[in-house]
Amino acid sequence: MTPDEAIAAMIDALGAGGIPFMLVGSQVTNFYGVARMTQDADFVLQVESGRVLQIVDHLGPPFRLERQMSFELITATTRWCVSLTGTPFSFDLFLLSDDPHDRERFRHRRQVQILGRQVAIPTVEDTIITKLRWSQQGRRPKDIEDVRNVIAVQGGRIDWEYVAAWCQQHGTEGLLEGLRRRAAE
Amino acid sequence: MEPTPELIEEIDRERIRAARAMSGEEKVLLGLQLFQCTCRIIADGIRDEFPDADVRRVQEILRERLAIARRLEDTP
């Protein structure tokens, strides 16, 4: 099974399960920006943990749920990892948290066509806000690169007022300003 | 979203195990498949942004975006 077939199968399984969900992370920054090859795909699900187990069980091989779930500290939620057996490709499934911005980006999610399927993704603004927050709190330089790439392509179409307001709440406004300055150079 | 360090280690180990179990040819193939997947998703984004673009125009913009990616990679 190729990575795009695996992503499509996951989208189909979540849709068939009637689970409200959205694709997030670097696959979405690819959608809005420029290429960065990544060996995983991330989803946010509005569902209880037990249903995650059922969905992955229903998918069957080559999908394999990692034994241990983990806690994501930035928005205080649960994360499940699903690997694609025989490859380094994997999925991270995050439960929708009570974090105000996590809730807001889920509410604002938009339906688009990806890999021949209707799938919800966050807006470009919410993608930037989340990536900046992760880059700071998770200390992940690749998130900064993702934001830089999205700004390079979408810069003129972004609602900067909305982005700045959330970044101020998250303490990432300095990062945002720096990236915007670099993009303008 | 930060998993526990133990889980990160476990997943990294799993990925390394999976990569070690693959032949060089399989790894090259996976790289091509990842690139193909990335290009499909970028093209979907371009079609979303430019709904009137025909196949040729989508390919042109895709090439431009790959060129931007290379340029950004070279930027310190």
From the CA of A161, how many Å to the nearest CA of chain B?
21
Q: pTM (2 decimals)?
A: 0.88
Domain for residue B7, yes or no?
A: no
Encode pLDDT of A6-27 as tens digits.
999 999 999 998 999 999 999 9
Among the partner-chain residues A27, A70, A87, the one whose CB lies closest to the CB of B30 is: A87
Sign of the dihedral through C-alpha A30, A36, A40, A44: negative
Domain for residue B2, yes or no?
A: no
CA nearest B14 in A: which residue? Answer: A88
Encode pLDDT of A67-115 as tens digits.
667 777 777 788 888 988 888 889 999 999 999 999 999 999 999 999 9
Q: How many Cβ atoms from other residues are within 10 Å of residue B35's Cβ?
A: 14
Domain for residue B30, yes or no?
A: yes
Cβ atoms of A99 and A137 within 8 Å: the answer is no
From the CA of B2, how many Å to the nearest CA of chain A?
4
What pairs with residue A112 in β-bridges? Answer: A119
Among the partner-chain residues B1, B39, B47, the one whose CB lies closest to the CB of A75 is: B1
Domain for residue B16, yes or no?
A: no
Q: What is the ipTM of this complex?
A: 0.84
User: How many domains does the structure of chain B reveal?
Assistant: 1
Q: The domain containing residue B56 runs over which residues?
A: 23-74
What is the number of residues in chain A? 185
Domain for residue B4, yes or no?
A: no
Q: How many Cβ atoms from other residues are within 10 Å of residue A16's Cβ?
A: 10
Element (H, E) at A41: strand A40-45
Residues 6 or more apart whose Cβ sits within 8 Å of residue B46: B53, B58, B61, B62, B65
Domain for residue B49, yes or no?
A: yes
Domain for residue B1, yes or no?
A: no
Cβ atoms of B8 and A63 within 8 Å: the answer is no
Q: How confident is the model at residue B11 (pLDDT cuts 50, 70, 90)?
A: low
